Structure 1
Amino acid sequence: MTSSDGSYLHRVAAVLDAFRAEDDEVSAAELARRTGLPKSTVHRIVLALIEEGLLERRGQEVRLGLKLFEIGQRVPRQRVLRDAALPYMSDLREATRQTIHLAVLEGSEVVYVEILRSSGGPDMPSRVGGRLPAHATGVGKAIMAFSPPEVVHRILDGGLARVSERTITAPGLFVKELDRIRRDGVAYDREESGHGIVCAAGPVLGRDGEVLGALSASGWSARMRLDRVAPAVHTAALALSRTLGEPGRARMRG
């Protein structure tokens, strides 16, 4: 692949990445503004993506196409993990009456693979396919606590941005928090990702101890007792880990 090919692919990726979870349709002009690319370049890329079915035209605007969803369903890590987790997520929601998340780590962020929402739960910033800074979430901290040291160091070196008033931003305090999570097997988000939202999360491990993702139960801080929900989350995460560690089950790589 030539350097010009690579540059074009980077621009295409930038256009697709410019779509946000809350977007329905977006204009080419807005995509150009978000990416910083010339409008003429974005216009050509949008037309090519429409032709390939990766974007769909809606009047003067475009939206992500169904073909992207179909491709996403083929990602092995997401498919295997999600399929194995769904029964445990359903049982956990039934037991806790809270919103249940399944997430994986991608760089310094968590990507939500599946969410089972509860009725009456808070309007959370998480969305399926959406991202949040790992250090500000229960699932992210659960994953980081069981990740190799170089993964943790990379995230710490990038800085711990403040997402809410209660986000842990001091590296020393955060490392102590990870030590506690390794001892207890449960991570907590105490309004660190959003005001009024708390959660308990447990790591999901593979056969060789590799951390594959995390499960969590989230709800209103005024209604959800973390000490009561945490054991159920811990049990569900352990059960899912055992299932994924069974001989013959496809292994997943980060």
Structure 2
Amino acid sequence: MSGQSRHADRPAPKSVLARGLSLLDAFGAGEPELSLARIAARSGLPKPTAHRLLGELVEWGALERSSPGHYRLATKLFRLGQLVPRHRVLREAALPHLEQLYEASHENVHLAVPDNVYTLFLEKLTGRESMSIRSRVGGRMPSHCTATGKVFLAWGGRDRLRRVVDAGLPRLTPRTIVLPGLLHQDLERTMARGLGINREEAEPGVSAVAAPVLGARGEVVAALSVTGRSHRLDLDRVGGLVRAAANAMSATLPALSAAQNG
């Protein structure tokens, strides 16, 4: 099931606030810009209503017109997003470990958090030697076919897995796991080894390994990952590096959170 069809099935929101938020939510699939027609279809709103509300969002600074009849997210939302305390703490705690992972692998490294049925990337380090991949800071990808997403599903309980299955398991590559039973087995292996692994399930030729970051109460609050070309990514070696980095980050979180709150 595509992101567009899921949006189209939603009933049109009733309040003005809900309508405005539904327009912003239309950008959740990660496209850099959308047409008025696409935004209206995803929000369930008539085009005239969507056009009027989009104009107000542009005036407020949440959106900007990228070309006639097309819109994209504006910097005001980015600035507000940087103020989310939990995400700011996680990014500050993760950056030294992400830098070490990049120096050790010269591949793409990520900090991610769960976001409903998706994995949301809070930070990404890359370089000239790194393979170009789809992920971006602030972008989301499906949980069932990403290494970080598998971490969140494996430790997230039955409710999170049920939401993901109910939302559909889209096939992004020939290796994507799209059967709930096979996904459940893969998540059991994820828990057993303590690592989420994606073997060309989100993009052809791209593999990844991720490890959980634990909060003060032992709950999974984030994940670190390394992503690169399948033929050169040594999952065993990189898995050990990612696990060590995630454990080290987990140890720093309580002290950093206390300092932020103090």
Secondary structure of the residue that 2:15 maps to in structure 1? Answer: helix
2:46 matched to 1:38?
yes
TM-score, scaled to structure 1: 0.88
Cα distance in 1 for partners of 2:198, 2:13 equals 43
Q: Which residue of 1 aligns with 2:120?
A: 111
2:152 matched to 1:143?
yes
CA-CA distance at 1:148 after TM superposition:
2.6
Matches within 5 A, 1:128-167: 128-167=137-176
Matches within 5 A, 1:1-254: 7-19=15-27, 21-24=30-33, 26-58=34-66, 60=68, 61-246=70-255, 249=258
Structure 1 stretches of at least 4 aligned residues deviating more than 4 Å after TM superposition: none
Q: How many residues matched?
A: 248
Q: Do the aligned partners of residues 250 and 203 (structure 1) sit closer, same or farther apart at CA in structure 2, a change above 3 Å counting?
A: farther
CA-CA distance at 1:229 after TM superposition:
0.9
Conservation of the 8 A alpha-carbon contact between 2:66 and 2:72: yes
Conservation of the 8 A alpha-carbon contact between 2:106 and 2:126: no
Amino acid at match of 2:62: L
Conservation of the 8 A alpha-carbon contact between 1:207 and 1:246: no
Once the two structures are superposed, residues 34-65 of structure 1 have per-residue CA deviations (whole angstroms, 9 ceiling, x without a partner) of: 44422211121012112212223456344322
CA-CA distance at 1:101 after TM superposition:
1.1
Cα distance in 2 for partners of 1:63, 1:229 equals 36
Unaligned runs of 5+ in 1: none
Amino acid at match of 2:243: H
Secondary structure of the residue that 1:122 maps to in structure 2? Answer: coil
Secondary structure of the residue that 1:40 maps to in structure 2? Answer: helix
Conservation of the 8 A alpha-carbon contact between 2:13 and 2:19: no
Amino acid at match of 2:209: A
Cα distance in 2 for partners of 1:12, 1:241 equals 37
Cα distance in 2 for partners of 1:190, 1:28 equals 37
Cα distance in 1 for partners of 2:231, 2:207 equals 9
Once the two structures are superposed, residues 3-29 of structure 1 have per-residue CA deviations (whole angstroms, 9 ceiling, x without a partner) of: x995322221222222363425x5434
Secondary structure of the residue that 2:122 maps to in structure 1? Answer: strand
Q: Do the aligned partners of residues 30 and 167 (structure 1) sit closer, same or farther apart at CA in structure 2, a change above 3 Å counting?
A: closer
TM-score, scaled to structure 2: 0.85
Unaligned runs of 5+ in 2: 1-11
Cα distance in 1 for partners of 2:139, 2:31 equals 10
Amino acid at match of 1:125: R
Conservation of the 8 A alpha-carbon contact between 1:80 and 1:250: no
Q: Do the aligned partners of residues 214 and 247 (structure 1) sit closer, same or farther apart at CA in structure 2, a change above 3 Å counting?
A: closer
More displaced, 211-220 or 45-54? 45-54
Cα distance in 2 for partners of 1:194, 1:127 equals 14
Cα distance in 2 for partners of 1:220, 1:232 equals 17
Once the two structures are superposed, residues 90-110 of structure 1 have per-residue CA deviations (whole angstroms, 9 ceiling, x without a partner) of: 111101111001111111111
How high is the sequence identity, in percent, across the aligned residues?
A: 44
Amino acid at match of 1:43: H
Cα distance in 2 for partners of 1:231, 1:34 equals 42
Cα distance in 1 for partners of 2:241, 2:220 equals 19
Once the two structures are superposed, residues 126-149 of structure 1 have per-residue CA deviations (whole angstroms, 9 ceiling, x without a partner) of: 121111110110000112212233
